[in-house]
Amino acid sequence: MKYKPLLILLGEPYSVFIELFLKTYKKYILKNNIKIPIVLVGSYQLFEAQMKYFNYNFKINIINEKNINNVKNNKKINIIDVAHKFKNIFEKKSSYSNTYIKNTFKISLKLLQNNKACGLINGPISKKKFLNKRYLGITEYLTSLTKTKETSMLIFNEKLSVCPITTHLPINKVTKNLSIKKICSSVLRLNNFFNNKLKVKPKIAILGLNPHCESNSLVSEEDKIIKPALMYLKSKKIDISGLFSADTFFLKENYKKYNLVIGMYHDQVLTPAKTLFHFNAINITIGLPFIRISPDHGPNESMVSKNISNPLSLIKSIDFFRRINAI
């Protein structure tokens, strides 16, 4: 059986991602005989230079967009070379980085739109530098580029996954961006993903916004928005419970009854999820025309070149594609 390649975009040049991929290739891809052909999208020169720095000697197969379907295995590291100028291999600031990252996305999206690849994993990107306040995050950037109406951010772990209804928003803008429609569409999208892609029935918990799900206002966000959304979702036979107060929900005896938690804002659910699972989680964008995953870590600039980074989240990202392709 022939599998479509999985694209891995190398992301920010000044990051730990090439180090993480090299560790993943040695410890996981080669040892487990991964059948999905993996194709990197990024600078061959930068990749090769860092590979030598970290004392690896893997063979590299340089390909182009036209012959990507000829890639059959991972005996060599497959890479689509994207031009990038750099003075040294761990260069902190470069005027070329943004153009380079945009070009890697452009190539990757073209291949995905032409049905030449099965999905995308993107390496970490310095959002402040790359997005320049035009988008809140890479999730929103890809939502715009693909002209997708709505997407959801799912932090996935086999035991417990979480989703914030609002994503990379300042806390003072959360309330204005909550609505019954937004909550319902996000939960329905996730319910469909769990059932159809993961073949798992989601058991969902939904959190309130205010401390103890209460407010001194005459009508709280819970009463005005979240409870009506919950009632609608229950009427659609969604297995969802709540409202739960976030301060006690993540005690083990409470959260272990569920496999998906819906929160109202980013840190409400990502902070406990990362505390519980560390690197054993991945960020999946739900609703794009393809599956996009980002390992659950940033560029980690303080660890660049030190060879101490943990590849678990990247391994989990690749393993997720194995799971949904049933291989």
Task: Write the pLDDT tens digit of every residue in 232-281.
Answer: 999 999 999 999 999 999 998 999 999 999 999 999 999 999 999 988 99
Please report, for the domain that includes residue 264, its CATH number.
3.40.718.10
What's residue 294's pLDDT?
Answer: 93
Rounded CA separation 149/129 (Å)? 25
The more confident residue out of 42 and 69 is 42
- State whether 78 and 109 are in the same domain: yes
Are residues 168 and 121 part of one domain? no
How would you label 63-97 residue by residue, b for 16+ Cβ within 10 Å and e otherwise?
beeeebeebeebeebbbbbbebebeebeeeebeeb
What does the angle CA 320 – CA 272 – CA 232 come to, to the nearest 5 degrees?
80
User: Residues 180, 225: contact at Cβ < 8 Å?
Assistant: yes
Q: Residue 296: which pLDDT band, with cuts at 50, 70 and 90?
A: confident
pLDDT level of residue 326 (50, 70, 90 thresholds): low
Read off the pLDDT of residues 161-186 as tens digits, 9 standing for 90 and up. Answer: 999 999 989 999 999 999 999 999 99
- Give this prediction's pTM: 0.93
Are residues 1 and 129 part of one domain?
yes
pLDDT given at position 57: 96
Backbone Cα Rg of the chain: 21
Reading the block at residue 253, the tokens are 């005896």
| Residues of the domain holding 64 | 1-148+288-327
Q: Check residues 168 and 76 and name the one with the higher pLDDT.
A: 76
Regarding whether 81 and 2 lie in a shared domain, the answer is yes
Q: Tell me how many domains the chain contains.
A: 2
Residue 77's alpha-carbon distances to 10, 63, 131, 143, 205, in angstroms, are 13, 10, 29, 29, 42
**41: exposed, middle or buried (C-beta count within 10 Å: 0-12, 13-18, 19+)?**
buried
